[in-house]
C-alpha cells in the first residue's frame, strides 16, 4: 500500500457516508470535542492538538494489535486540508497498514464535524502514517503478531 495521499485519501463525500463504528474498515480510536483551550490566536484549533490526538489514536490501534505497550518512532508528512474550529467534533480513524517484526504502520485519518451549527458537514482535516514499535516493560522492542486478513 502506498502512503501517498492520492492513493489513500478518502473524499469528503465518502466520509459523510461513514458509520462511526467502522468506516472503510477503519477503527474509531478517538472522538473528542475541540474546546477553547485548544485554539490558537486565529481562533482555529492548534495543529499540535490534532497531531497529539492522531498520536494517541495510532497508539491505541497499535496497542490493540500488539497487546503490549507501544511508542511512536516516526510520523510521515501531515498536510492540514481544513481548519478545525472550537465546538467541532474531531474523530480519528485508524488502520494497521503493515506490520514488521517489532513495528506497525498505522494510518490515521482525521475528520471533523461542525458541532456549533448542528450541521452535518464532515470535513477531511488531515491524515498521516505513524510508525509504532511494540516494547516490553524494560523498553526493549518485542515481536508483534502478523496482520490477519
| 71-85 per-position pLDDT tens digit | 999 999 899 999 999
pTM (two decimals):
0.83
- Mean pLDDT check: name the lowest of 29-38, 93-102, 109-118: 109-118
Helix (H/G/I), strand (E/B), else coil: 123:
strand
**CB 45: neighbour CB atoms within 10 A?**
25
Which of 68, 28, 32, 74 is CA-nearest to residue 49?
A: 32
The H helix count followed by the E strand count for the chain is 3, 5
Percent of the chain clearing pLDDT 90 (strictly above): 70
For the stretch 35-61, pLDDT in tens is: 999 999 988 999 999 999 999 999 999
Does the structure show a pLDDT above 90 at 10? Answer: no
pLDDT at 6: 36
Amino acid at each position: 500500500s502506498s502512503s501517498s495521499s492520492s492513493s489513500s485519501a478518502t473524499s469528503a463525500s465518502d466520509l459523510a457516508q461513514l458509520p462511526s463504528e467502522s468506516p472503510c474498515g477503519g477503527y474509531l480510536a478517538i472522538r473528542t470535542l475541540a474546546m477553547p483551550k485548544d485554539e490558537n490566536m486565529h481562533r482555529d484549533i492548534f495543529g499540535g492538538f490534532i497531531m497529539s490526538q492522531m498520536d494517541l489514536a495510532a497508539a491505541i490501534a497499535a496497542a490493540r494489535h500488539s497487546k503490549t505497550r507501544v511508542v511512536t518512532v516516526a510520523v510521515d508528512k501531515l498536510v492540514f486540508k481544513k481548519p478545525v474550529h472550537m465546538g467541532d467534533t474531531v474523530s480519528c480513524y485508524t488502520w494497521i497498514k503493515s506490520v514488521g517484526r517489532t513495528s506497525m504502520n498505522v494510518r490515521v485519518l482525521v475528520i471533523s464535524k461542525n458541532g456549533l451549527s448542528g450541521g452535518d458537514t464532515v470535513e477531511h482535516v488531515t491524515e498521516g502514517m505513524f510508525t509504532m514499535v511494540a516494547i516490553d516493560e524494560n523498553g526493549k522492542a518485542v515481536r508483534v503478531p502478523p496482520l490477519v486478513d
